[in-house]
Amino acid sequence: MADPATYRPAPGSIPESPGVYRFRDPDGRVVYVGKAKSLRQRLNSYFADFAGLHPRTQTMLTTAASVDWTVVGNEVEALQLEYSWIKEFDPRFNVKYRDDKSYPFLAVTMGEDFPRVQVLRGAKRKGTRYFGPYSHAWAIRETVDLLLRVFPVRTCSAGVFKRAGQIGRPCLLGYIDKCSAPCVGRVTPEEHRALAEDFCDFMAGNTGRFIKRLEREMRDAAAVEEYERAARLRDDVQALQRALEKQTVVLGDDTDCDVIALAEDPLEAAVQVFYVRGGRIRGQRGWVVDKVEETTPGELVEQFLLQMYGEAAIPREILVPARPPDETALAELLSEQRGSRVDLRVPQRGDKKSLMETVERNAKESLAQHKLRRASDLTTRSRALQEIADALDLDQVPLRIECYDVSHIQGENVVASMVVFEDGLVRKSEYRRFSIRSGEGDVASIYEVICRRFKRYLEERVATGELDAEPASDDGAREPAVGTPIDPETGRPRKFAYPPNLVVVDGGPAQAAAARRALDELGVDDVAVCGLAKRLEEVWLPGDDQPVILPRSSEGLYLLQRVRDEAHRFAIAYHRSKRSKPLRESALDQVPGLGPARRQALLRHFGSVKRLREASAEEIQTVPGIGPATAEAIVAALRGQSPSPAGQGS
């Protein structure tokens, strides 16, 4: 590993102009490419305070052995050169967007003498028009099958096409009128190309003129009593309409845009794009990216736009979740590539905002599915557990990991969660939640919850005979049952009978020290403890001054992060339910004998607690199920206290 001080540029040697810089490793390979409005200011930030940099940036600097740069005239040129270098050198520390699957496109090979419609994946070919991408190949084939009735374009391979021409007989599609059979000369090359161009126009969104033309021809055929031809045209119109129904209308007919949304965590990000043409969703695509450096949503958007639209067609409007740092320069670059103005917008309201929320939900689902696939792999889980054991110097791999998190708002309704992972997989039946009694901060709360959990563990060990039990008391209390960790009364595993190999707490050195202190006071010395700080993903061991930095590509770090995030989610869910409970309470809850069903009946009848408070006992008795005594109790309860917002809202 190199020392960044050994290759730091001499003071004053870095220009203040905009430009693009490259970090290279000892073998000369480019490991990172970046751009800057001021090269001097940007590069000095790498070397000024190494300890204050993000751990991933530190890794990049110690991997590199030199840095060079190129001065450009403006920010647009910097964006262009950065994209060119990233494409050329493929640096390992730059953000790289990779498909989470290979998406199929509907392709029309307009570069051939007889254009062909087919499903294609992978790199795009010159002279071919592409539509999509689509989520599934079968969706393309269903659409093509409907459209071939109206636009009978060739779909066969070159070999089939050539053989049909040699034998003078078309394939089955030619006989059922789903191919114009140019192979045997039924149509001229010009007529077949016109069909292919109409097919492309329909797929590009110019649908109205084709349906109107067919409807006009259908009426003309019916007028001259050519009913069979009119029926065929009617079926053609219905086929086009069914093809259109498969594409959801989301915006105005003249709207062409790409809608981009992000879902991210500290290690990865998922990007989803919906392609809207003519107001309809024509396709979607997704990427998953490793976040090598600490980046903002705007920076992710900028990097994505540069890589996405380096070669792809650019629409006149791009909806993004956050504004890029160099929005003006990026819009100018995209406009230059498109040949006309390109607008970058963050939707704030209306249909476009709703569509952005839909795309964002897809991005979140894509990230969740990616994590699930990664976590379900046995080899990956085994490697993750071994990496954790090596990093924390454990005697054995932590087959059972428990993670604890605390949730509150300004010290109110303090709760904690305990989640369990066994063999790298969630064990939701073992999850537990705690209401914190001390309320003296996160450190004290961690100490309390660890004490309570492991006191129960020690009690269960006594019950199973692993520890010596106290003798029975003189008041006849039953002695704890001895045996396995199965409760003899319920036949179920005891709640806290199994100890973890590793306790993870959400937090830094203070939280880790509090958990260790709680275990030491209870005499539990065979359980390892660590803390995972969310800001920099640092692993802290109790009593250590420096954190344990797991490699960016470490599966162990990924597993610890997933455990911590699950504990955080579980704690927040409990905190929300506890916080919202008082808001659901009203004065009616204090009336003895008045259950939920009759409370709901009263509120439905009177509309609100305020109106119910103004009603007399006789009026209340008109509600089915409410007798005189209950009505009097309701009147006394409601008029005996002042109205409250919570009560009125019930």
Alpha-carbon distance of 250 to 228, in angstroms, equals 37
Alpha-carbon distance of 243 to 385, in angstroms, equals 50
Residues with Cβ within 8 Å of residue 473, at least 6 apart in sequence: none
Alpha-carbon distance of 215 to 86, in angstroms, equals 52
Question: Domains (ranges, CATH) in the chain?
Answer: 19-89 (3.40.1440.10), 104-246 (no CATH), 257-374 (3.30.420), 394-465+497-575 (3.30.420.340), 587-639 (1.10.150.20)
Residues with Cβ within 8 Å of residue 69, at least 6 apart in sequence: 14, 15, 19, 20, 21, 22, 39, 43
Give whole-number Cα distances, 337 to 130, 176, 241, 315, in Å.
Answer: 18, 44, 35, 11
Q: Token pair of 490, please? A: 């319920």
Alpha-carbon distance of 339 to 480, in angstroms, equals 81
In this predicted model, what pLDDT tens digit does every residue of 437-455 receive, in sequence order?
776 778 888 888 899 888 8
Alpha-carbon distance of 179 to 202, in angstroms, equals 17
270 and 262 in contact (C-beta within 8 Å)? Answer: yes
Q: Which amino acid, 257?
A: C
Q: Whose CA is closest to 42, among 75, 65, 77, 86? A: 75
Residues of the chain with pLDDT under 50: 100-101, 249, 469-488, 490-492, 582-585, 641-650
Q: Token pair of 46, please? A: 């790498």
- Residue 113: the pLDDT is 86
- Residue 225: the pLDDT is 80
Tell me whether strands 117-120 and 105-108 are parallel, antiparallel or unpaired: antiparallel
Beta strands in 37-124 (DSSP E): 66-71, 98-99, 105-108, 117-120
Q: Sign of the CA dihedral 289, 294, 299, 303? A: negative
Alpha-carbon distance of 429 to 495, in angstroms, equals 9
**Burial degree of 523 (CB within 10 A; 0-12, 13-18, 19+):** exposed
- Quick one: DSSP state of residue 225? T
- Residue 503: the pLDDT is 92
Q: Tell me the H-state helices in 376-463.
A: 378-392, 442-463
SS (H, E, C) 232-259: HHHHHHHHHHHHHHCCCECCCCCCCEEE
Alpha-carbon distance of 299 to 110, in angstroms, equals 37
Alpha-carbon distance of 155 to 179, in angstroms, equals 8
Would you say the pTM of this structure is higher than 0.85? Answer: no
230 and 218 in contact (C-beta within 8 Å)? Answer: yes
Q: Token pair of 574, please? A: 């409990």
Alpha-carbon distance of 512 to 530, in angstroms, equals 6
Return the residue matching tokens 């390979």: 29
87 and 310 in contact (C-beta within 8 Å)? Answer: yes
Q: Which amino acid, 517?
A: R
Number of residues that this document lists for the chain: 650
Would you give the distance in Å from CA 307 to the centre of its chain? 20
Q: Token pair of 473, please? A: 């008391």
Alpha-carbon distance of 328 to 531, in angstroms, equals 42
In this predicted model, what pLDDT tens digit does every residue of 552-601 receive, in sequence order?
667 888 888 888 888 888 888 877 776 555 444 456 666 777 777 787 78
386 and 501 in contact (C-beta within 8 Å)? Answer: no
Q: At what angle do helices 327-338 and 75-89 cross, to 10 degrees?
A: 70
- Residue 393: the pLDDT is 85
Q: Whose CA is closest to 421, among 465, 462, 376, 460? A: 376
- Residue 642: the pLDDT is 42
For 245-266, letters b (16+ CB in 10 Å) and e give eebeebbeeebbbbbbbbbbbe
